[in-house]
Amino acid sequence: MLDIQFIRENPDLVRAAIKNKNREGIDLDRILTLADERKKIAGDISDINKKRNEAQAARDIEAGKRLKEELAAAEEKFKEIEKELVGLLVKIPNIPSADTPVGPDESGNVVVRQWGEKPNFSFVPKAHWDIGKELGIIDSEKAGEISGARFTYLKGDLALMQFALINLVMHTITNKEELAKVIAHAQLTIDPKPFTAVIPPVFMRPQVMNRMARLDPIEDRFFFEKDDLILIGSAEHTLGPLHMDEMLQEAQLPIRYVGYSTAFRREAGAAGKDTRGILRQHQFDKIEMESTTLPEDGLAEQELMVGVQEYLLQQLGLPYQVVLVCTGDMGFPDQRQIDIETWMPGQNTFRETHSADYVGGFQARRLNTRVKRADGSVEPVHMNDATAFAIGRTLIAILENYQNEDGSVTIPEVLRPYMGGKEKIEKAL
């Protein structure tokens, strides 16, 4: 949610954001009118309360009775206006950063850099679903019978590789020395305070997810009405509110978490899309970074997260491109979104594997996560969330980039220590 004061002072910016993020149909004038009315009625309520306090001090019971009714009427009016106002306010997307390209959809995204050499195969590279099936490490058929479409079994060395990836990330960013290496590699100057590993809940209250501005579109969430619980679509959903309703001290920041969890998505609008393999699943495991910083450090924090993403991909030797996501394609709460697309030779294309979302104070305002500055002022914290590894998609990239003509898959060197020194995934006998 944006600050009403900000909207009042920057209506043109807000209008542009609504338009460029394809959220047209929001009546900004109505919002400003309601905000003025709310302010006026709040003043009335304040006056009535003052008189009421005076009546009480004087033990004037008659006046008290009258004022009680006046107050009830004013409060009811206030609630009505408040409800309509907040209902409209939460529909306004966050303002894109100045360097965010304006564009209607993903066609407007800008590739800012590429890394790595696409592998040169002397044979026709296969897609991961064929590689996985032949090696007996991806079983979609049995999963289909047991759980339905968009579920799979990952087996054997592929399952072990998941744990290797988790270990690689945790080793790299949860200790200061290793994180300092990442920072040096990315040529950044930033506090090397390590990430704290977290295994977060995967169920949460819809109300809290709403405060994270991540509830919609609700059609894409698994919602358990009987229990009033919703399954997270990303660890970010339960990592972000870790400090809700808290007043943090400036010296505590930055606070960095790296969470490992399963993510759940209904893929409601994706019928028929990416139905083969493990690219688009109802359930997948993901390692996610979440940072809380001072407002002035938010943008640099996003660069850190992208730095972590690139460092890890380079460790794995996977070719990728970094994409600055345009207004029409970026997330609703995002101020600046950077995606990484990794080369998938079996599909002969780059596919999105990472996202880094800088949301500014947009989520913190509703989460009520604030920081008390050294000078005594108070303001919403700024937040960043970013993928460390979407494990399924990373496994796809490894399978497709490291495939050999004989059907085996070479294990990237950096993962071998976590896999008992094994060099190749081969067909089990």
Alpha-helix residue ranges (DSSP H) falling in 58-175: 61-89, 128-135, 140-146, 156-173
Closest approach of RNA to the CB of residue 90, in Å: 18
Tally Cβ neighbours within 10 Å of residue 8.
13
Nearer to RNA, 36 or 141 (CB): 36
Q: What Cα–Cα distance (Å) separates residue 27 from each residue in 15, 84, 249, 292? A: 10, 12, 37, 32
| Paired tokens of 117 | 């050499």
Closest approach of RNA to the CB of residue 132, in Å: 29
Nearer to RNA, 42 or 300 (CB): 42
Nearer to RNA, 60 or 267 (CB): 60
What track of x and - describes contact with RNA for positions 39 through 78 (by CB under 7 A)?
A: x--xx-xx--xx-xx-xx--x-x--xx-xx----------
Judged by CB under 7 A, the stretch of 36-44, 129-137, 288-296, 326-334 that binds RNA is 36-44
Nearer to RNA, 370 or 393 (CB): 370
Q: Reduced to 3 states, what is the DSSP secondary structure of residue 229?
A: strand
Nearer to RNA, 90 or 299 (CB): 90
Tally Cβ neighbours within 10 Å of residue 427.
12
Nearer to RNA, 158 or 204 (CB): 204
Closest approach of RNA to the CB of residue 53, in Å: 4
Task: Answer yes or no whether residue 376 interacts with RNA by CB under 7 A.
Answer: yes
Question: Among 124, 199, 271, 378, which residue sits at the site for RNA (rule: CB under 7 A)?
Answer: 378
Closest approach of RNA to the CB of residue 378, in Å: 4
Q: Reduced to 3 states, what is the DSSP secondary structure of residue 233?
A: coil
Residues 240-259 close enough to bind RNA by CB under 7 A: 247
Closest approach of RNA to the CB of residue 333, in Å: 21
Task: Answer yes or no whether residue 33 interacts with RNA by CB under 7 A.
Answer: no
Closest approach of RNA to the CB of residue 11, in Å: 17
Nearer to RNA, 271 or 378 (CB): 378
CB 35 within 8 A of CB 85: yes
No. of helices (H) and no. of strands (E), the chain: 13, 18
Q: What Cα–Cα distance (Å) separates residue 299 from each residue in 98, 363, 395? A: 12, 15, 29
Residue found under tokens 């609630």: 79
Judged by CB under 7 A, the stretch of 94-102, 150-158, 271-279, 368-376 that binds RNA is 368-376
Angle value at C-alpha 147, between 167 and 269, nearest 5 degrees: 85
DSSP state of 221: S
Q: Cα–Cα distance between 283 and 264 in angstroms, integer?
A: 5
What element of type H or E holds 87?
helix 61-89
Which residues here bind RNA, judged by CB under 7 A?
A: 39, 42-43, 45-46, 49-50, 52-53, 55-56, 59, 61, 64-65, 67-68, 247, 370, 372, 376, 378
